[in-house]
Amino acid sequence: MILTVTLNTALDITYRVPSLRPHAEHRVSEVVERPGGKGVNVARVLAALGYPVTVTGFAGGPTGQVVRERLAGAAGITDALVPCAGATRRTVAVVDQRTGDTTQLNEPGPHIGPAEWAAFLRAYDSLLGDARAVALCGSLPPGVPVGAYAGLIRVARTAGVPVLLDTGGEPLRRGIAARPDIVKPNASELAELTGSHEPARATRDARRRGAQAVVASLGPDGLLAATPEGHWRAAPPARLRGNPTGAGDAAVAGLLSGLVDGLPWPARLTRATALSAAAVLAPTAGEFDPAEYARLLAAATVTDEESAA
């Protein structure tokens, strides 16, 4: 199985409105609630692709109970969330149906005490025994040490399990030094990490900081990768309008599934780019239309950046 870690799980709530206007009252045309957080979105995409996946992290309070109830009905996903006293956060996405733009509101999450963190570490160590790969995703809830991901990477490496890190800020800075197999920052996270706003240079610099491979999400421009096998840029066939929430998580699912399948890097990047683009066209994070994915997979392009240079 593939293990995804979402320390700051969420109940994702998506509102759709005809047009989002500041300081105005809005009539909501549709409401969708789903278990969320980056790693949970990754798990949902992996399960849709047919990979057995286990989710872990924290869940607590009434919101956490709803998350677990919804996960119980998700085919292919095993719930291994660790209970906590605080309430799981909510995230609210407001989709403007006129423009396709999305406004996101994210709560901070529950405070995690030392005993709860110790319980999670025991669960994580146990779950690694059956894992083919692990993804460490998203923000840290209050109370979790800022170097938590670095420690989790070291535990996975000791267990011989390849690990992908998808976070930002200081957790990314500390985590990358622990030598994860793959790091997947977005453009702003990459610039914050390296101080460079030139993606090709920043991706190479990030890899020198410890990661075996760095795959940067560049939004509608696709992915840029610096790996032991070479440097590539992968792009969808055209710029797509839609809901970008969860597009990066779909890319992580593509990278993870390509890793466990033993695909060469260009094929991994093609899969990740196509899944990310298909997720943009889907109404809710963690979803994609299989027909759109197949179309985009056939049309996505991968360019050898070293040859292009």
Name which of 306, 145, 132, 143 is nearest 226 in CA terms: 306
Residue type, 104: Q
Contact 153, 180 (CB under 8 A): yes
Catalytic residue among 249, 261, 289, 304: 249
3-state secondary structure of 105: strand
- Crossing angle of the two packed helices 148-158 and 169-176, in degrees rounded to 10: 30
Phi, psi at residue 87, to the nearest 5°?
-85, 135
Which is it for strands 89-96 and 82-83: parallel, antiparallel or unpaired? unpaired
Q: At which residue do the structure tokens 């209050």 appear?
A: 142
DSSP conformational letter for 167:
-
Residue 166 designated active-site = no
Contact 53, 87 (CB under 8 A): no
3-state secondary structure of 213: strand
Tokens at 128, concatenated: 């690694």
Which residues are the active-site residues? 249
